[in-house]
Amino acid sequence: PRLSLSTLADLPAAVARPAYDIAAAEVGVVHLGVGAFHRAHQAAYLDAILGRGHKGWAICGASLRSPDTSDALDPQDGLYTLAERSGAGDNLRVIGSLRRLLVAPRDPEALLAAMCDPRVRIVTLTVTEKGYCHDPASGTLDEAHPDIRADLASPQRPVSAPGYLVEALARRRAAGVAPFTVLTCDNLPANGKTVARVTARLAALRDDDLGRFVAGEVAFPSTMVDRIVPATTDDDRALVAAGLGLQDAWPVMAEPFMQWVVEDLFPLGRPPLEEVGVELVSDVEPFEHMKLRLLNGAHSTLAYLGYLAGHATIADTMAVPAFARLVARLQDEEVTPTLHLPAGVDVAAYKRALRERFANPALRHRTWQIAMDGSQKLPQRLVATARDRLAAGAPIPLLALGVAGWMRYVTGRDEQGNAIDVRDPLAARLKALADEAGPDATRLAPALLSVREVFADLGADPRFAGPVRDALARLMARGAAATVEEIAGG
Ligand code: NAD
């Protein structure tokens, strides 16, 4: 039997489940991109909100691409299991906040209608960095992006996330319904401002007046989201089924830790998030820099170098003392000096906790998964930090090593000569650049540094290019394991 409303009562007592009347919950949020992260983070917070009796904040989740999540969860009445994993075992909790599932390519009108419902006051998003169709280095709309061109050609039948936002906002405006608040939960720098810029630009390309409306009347609060959520595997499904005594086609796995810092900017109102542990602040940027640079910057560095050194997961990589030291030194020596810390944060404790989270052996977060879409991630995770360091006249050997790890990775060949399955919107171009340059770092580094979407002007700055080239030369000659040992070993 399958997890569903009708089997909920059969669950073992150890499995937590909604204590509220699921049938009475009403959709107040539309979410674009119902992937693993949303289901383990925002949906868990809103499940707790529903549990506190605020019944107007259930979620309608939409996929703009694959029907996979909807196909898995529709037969389960939207219910799924969140497994919180640690050395102490798994804590299972059934989440009930996802009340409706839509697949945009199957029925775009249904999604637009949901977004235009006056009871919907917030549209949240986790469509990955590339889902905003922007140039990651400048944070502006990529007007040549095929999805954006399609959205300009047929605005009433959108394809991209910005396209759906603009069309729904235009329809609400025409109907005299106040605009929803747009709350992106993706790891973009200044994420609210970036999504505002991209969305307003797309609106303006449709019509100047609509562009002014989106720029002037729509709220795009920034947010910092944190919880490590690896992709679910078949082993995870089997473990969860054993714990439930029921099949769940798509549970999600997460670490116990979760954090959500939100700019308090919701003209139509919001759920009382402070009741469930969300931090509402006026300025998210100090939290965002701390998290993107200390967590995600270290994560990407571990992902590229760890993958190249033959490690499948972040925990396996962290189990090598030289890698653990590399992370600590990167954080202490090159990242922390660039941060303006939020008041009251103990950064030493934050970094210690991060390293413990990375080492959690129960999570099995694949280096390959984090390595994905590097061209969209490097600017805010490593390059921006390096830019701040250089502006302060400070050295960047460890940031350069992380960037060099990415370069070796995107050549598409590992240290044994086997193919790497590089997933990145720029993968083909990166591979062509690497193939043409060949394996000599004095040619390979400049070739990849010319990719302006990632490095902008820094690619041509010798203070950046020099250390990156030197680190890449070492990586090509000695391999990742030996290089990390030499640099951070001792
Ligand atoms: P996932 O693969 O489970 O889900 C990704 C979702 O994005 C899917 O719904 C997919 O259909 C959609 N998507 C992908 N490309 C798209 C595009 N071009 N346009 C529209 N939709 C698109 O991944 P996830 O673990 O849910 O992570 C999604 C995002 O959440 C990350 O990219 C990141 O910005 C953020 N995030 C993830 C974590 C984590 O640990 N997984 C932590 C913090 C933040």
pTM value?
Answer: 0.97
Q: Which two tokens stand for residue 211?
A: 């562009």
State if residue 159 touches ligand 1 by the CB under 6 angstroms criterion.
Answer: no
For the chain, the structural domain boundaries read: 8-281, 285-488
Q: Which two tokens stand for residue 28?
A: 């107040």
pLDDT score for 490: 59
CB 216 within 8 A of CB 352: no
Q: Give domain 8-281's CATH number out of 3.40.50.720, 3.40.1370.10, 2.40.160.20, 3.20.20.70.
A: 3.40.50.720
Q: Rounded CA gap, 281 and 338, in Å?
A: 21
Distance 35 CA to ligand 1 centre (A): 6
State if residue 127 touches ligand 1 by the CB under 6 angstroms criterion.
Answer: yes
Per residue in 432-473, pLDDT (tens digit) is 999 999 999 999 999 999 999 999 999 999 999 999 999 999
Q: What is the torsional sign of CA 268, 186, 295, 458?
A: negative
pLDDT score for 489: 73
Q: Give domain 285-488's CATH number out of 1.20.140.10, 1.10.1040.10, 1.25.50.10, 3.40.640.10.
A: 1.10.1040.10
Distance 373 CA to ligand 1 centre (A): 11
State if residue 258 touches ligand 1 by the CB under 6 angstroms criterion.
Answer: no
State if residue 42 touches ligand 1 by the CB under 6 angstroms criterion.
Answer: no
CB 309 within 8 A of CB 485: no
- Helix (H, G, I), strand (E, B), or coil: what is residue 28? strand
Nearest CA-CA partner of 37 in 158, 107, 128: 128
- Give the containing element (helix H, strand E) for 216: helix 208-217
Q: Which two tokens stand for residue 79?
A: 């219910």
- Which residue has a Cα nearest atom 43 of ligand 1? 226
30, 31, 34, 37: which to mutate for ligand 1, most atoms within 8 A of CB? Answer: 37
Q: Which atom of ligand 1 is nearest to the CA of 128?
A: 32
Residue reference for tokens 């996979």: 68
Q: Rounded CA gap, 320 and 433, in Å?
A: 32
CB 51 within 8 A of CB 18: yes
CB 96 within 8 A of CB 20: yes
Q: Which atom of ligand 1 is nearest to the CA of 37?
A: 26
DSSP, res 66:
-
Predicted ipTM of the assembly:
0.99
Distance 185 CA to ligand 1 centre (A): 9
Distance 208 CA to ligand 1 centre (A): 31
State if residue 186 touches ligand 1 by the CB under 6 angstroms criterion.
Answer: yes
- Helix (H, G, I), strand (E, B), or coil: what is residue 12? coil
DSSP, res 24:
G
Distance 187 CA to ligand 1 centre (A): 10
Q: Nearest-5° angle of CA 349, CA 350, CA 353?
A: 85
State if residue 250 touches ligand 1 by the CB under 6 angstroms criterion.
Answer: no
Distance 125 CA to ligand 1 centre (A): 9
- Which residue has a Cα nearest atom 28 of ligand 1? 128
CB-based burial label for 60 (10 Å; 0-12, 13-18, 19+): buried
- Which residue has a Cα nearest atom 21 of ligand 1? 127
**Within the chain, which residues score under 50 in pLDDT?**
none
59, 69, 126, 300: which to mutate for ligand 1, most atoms within 8 A of CB? Answer: 126
pLDDT score for 88: 86
